[in-house]
Amino acid sequence: MENGPSPISSDSLANDRLRAHVLDRVQNNSRNSGAHHSPQAIETHLTPFTPTRPSIPVNNEVLDALNDITTTPFENSFLSRLQGTRAAMAPSAIYIDWETVTPWMNLMMDIREHYALANADSEILIPTESTAPITYTTLQRIHLPQVHDLLERVFWSGIDVSDSLDYSPEKATVIAVYKKLVVGVAIMSSPQETYITFLAVRAGWDKAKIAKTMLYLLVSRNPKKDITLHVSVNNSAMLLYNQFGFKAEEFVAGFYDDYLDPLSRASKNAFKLRLRQ
Ligand SMILES: CC(C)(COP(=O)(O)OP(=O)(O)OC[C@H]1O[C@@H](n2cnc3c(N)ncnc32)[C@H](O)[C@@H]1OP(=O)(O)O)[C@@H](O)C(=O)NCCC(=O)NCCS
């Protein structure tokens, strides 16, 4: 029977490498110290290396199970231990607000508490609602249906802001989102024109400084540029713009004639406001 080359075990490979390394080191040292030892002389002083740990047989089932893992849920990940289990900021997010509690959030909490109290004795499993921040982000295509719905409820029908996605949305748009619900919209025509076309907050989410935050983010993303807008003369948003330092520079009679419903209580006359920066 012919003997072929025996398979090289990883232990003997490690032994050979270690032996070569030690030989190298000893020869270098002896050269530096002026002494001379032949490789054969050194070899005789070397005792063979035997691994101290016996190799553990591989459990293929465990190996397969490990190979099957493709992702780790964020809640179970090492990163979540470092950062906390709150979801990481989305790349388009500008600002995350965990503090604000809006009238709508309060109402929902009251309803849930009431329901829990009313069913305290029953065996119904009461679902718990996770809290989430209000996230300020730039306009994404996914927001468009909700943005149009919100703007049409607040202003007039037929509003389409899809082309804002083509004009530097990272500078000219701010959207406030709670979980997947769009609760506020602030849009500028473009970073060149810096004219605010729409500012609106969903009913039930107002008076919680969402408009103020959106306006602040929009202004700070367009520094050193005057910002202009038109506002109906009897709109309470005038107070908000005043707080930012907007000043009226023009009175435009009938500005909203073509847009507002004739029965609307909002004045059709507008002020053109300017924020000098
Ligand atoms: C105007 C509007 C955007 C305000 O949104 P909001 O999130 O409630 O506003 P904020 O909570 O950020 O309010 C900021 C400031 O605005 C003023 N303000 C806003 N709404 C007000 C109201 N109804 N009455 C009195 N003051 C008001 C307040 O001075 C407030 O500051 P303060 O809380 O420090 O006193 C919102 O009511 C809305 O969507 N209105 C309909 C659309 C509209 O008119 N947009 C403006 C077109 S130019």
Ligand 1 pocket residues where CB is under 6 Å? 154, 199-201, 206-212, 229, 231, 235-237, 239-240, 243
Position 3 scores a pLDDT of 42
- Tens digit of pLDDT for each residue in 146-205? 999 999 999 999 999 999 999 899 999 999 999 999 999 999 999 899 999 999 999 999
- Which superfamily does 91-121+129-222 belong to? Gcn5-related N-acetyltransferase (GNAT) (3.40.630.30)
**Atom 28 of ligand 1: nearest residue by CA position:** 240
Provide mean pLDDT across the span 97-121.
89
How many Å apart are CA 238 and CA 273, to the nearest integer? 9
Ordered by start, the domain boundaries in the chain are: 14-47, 91-121+129-222, 226-277
Torsion of CA 122, 109, 143, 153, to 10 degrees: 110
| pLDDT, tens only, 135-159 | 999 999 999 999 999 999 999 999 9
* Whole-angstrom distance, CA of residue 221 vs CA of residue 209: 18
Q: 162 C-alpha to center of ligand 1: Å?
A: 25
